[in-house]
Chains A and B, each alone.
Chain A
Amino acid sequence: MTMTPTQTVQAFLDAFARHDVDAAIAVVDPQVSVTVHPFGLESSGADVLRGVLADLVLGFPDLMITVSRVITTGDVVTALFKAEGTQAAGYAGAINQEKHLDIDQAWRFVTGGGLITEVTAYWCQAQLYRRLAVKRYDEIAIA
């Protein structure tokens, strides 16, 4: 039986929250459209999304995802969550200074046939860099 849009996205979020990237990608269409605005990333393919998730888990091994709302509007599901963790490796160009991160994010998913066919992620990179003690956007790797 095909999952509903809400169930599909909930399965993705649950897997992501337990750092199980393979299980998260299992509910993603192989040709998924991926847009991550803070990275200026607009691409397609499950491996692209796998990279986005894996980088976050690698950079913050104690990553905690706390979902506050899941809003279903037809085939579109919007998830609001907070990502928290302590940096343990370079992330988004920022060197590891073992800083704590807490960022509120909104991810908009489009679903079809029980799979995620489109993901658009919104968060504020200024908040992220501020928490990771980055001083300038044009010198991200310099603490």
Chain B
Amino acid sequence: MTEVSQRPRTAESAAAVVTEFFDRYRAHDVDGMTDLCSINADFSYVPVEIWGKQRVLRGDGKVCTVGKPLWTGLIASFPNLSNTVHSVTSNDEGDVVAQVDVEGTQQLAWGLIAPAGRHYREPHLFIFHVGADLLIDSIAAYWNDAGISQQLGHNEVD
């Protein structure tokens, strides 16, 4: 009989999962980031919206179908992409809130922003929920996308 040992979810263990998530993000280990998430984990990058003539594409969906391609594309466009975690607070229900600066130097087009070799650094607030199985089942993030555009030299409000 196989015995499975499972750490209990506490505020500390939930925070540790999120800290590991940002360590893997800093190492550009997108598969590793995804491995920390449940298979159906929700994803919402609130500022992401691309206005077309008849529809608006938003950064909402699932980690596996929206989050992973976004992270992969971001790392491709900003090969030195990095993050600095300023604070992580959590509770025993698995809620984790992290203040994180994300930064990088643009080498490829990102959305409508042409590459000009410029660097950005922008404060983000990430809201996670870590399930009882110590897998992330929800990620949401807020930041000022105008700040990124302006730092990269793109002054049009698209």
Binding site for B on A (CB under 8 A): 37-38, 40, 71-74, 76, 78, 80, 104-106, 108, 120, 122-127, 129-130, 134-138
With A126-B144, A126-B145 already in contact, the answer to whether A73 and B89 are too (CB < 8 A) is yes
Closest CB of chain B to A114's CB: distance in Å? Answer: 19
**Which DSSP category, helix, strand, loop or mixed, fits chain B's interface?**
strand
Closest CB of chain B to A53's CB: distance in Å? Answer: 19
Q: Which 4 A-B pairs have the closest CB atoms?
A: A124-B47, A73-B89, A125-B146, A122-B142
Binding site for A on B (CB under 8 A): 11, 46-47, 49, 51, 89-91, 95-97, 99, 122-125, 127, 140, 142-147, 149-150, 155-158
Q: Tell me which of B51, B96, B127, B157 contacts A135 (CB under 8 A).
A: B157
A132 closest partner in B (C-beta): B157
Q: Tell me which of B99, B140, B150, B156 contacts A120 (CB under 8 A).
A: B99
Q: How far is the CA of A124 from the CA of B149 in the complex (A)?
A: 11
Q: How far is the CA of A134 from the CA of B156 in the complex (A)?
A: 9
With A78-B97, A127-B47 already in contact, the answer to whether A122 and B145 are too (CB < 8 A) is no
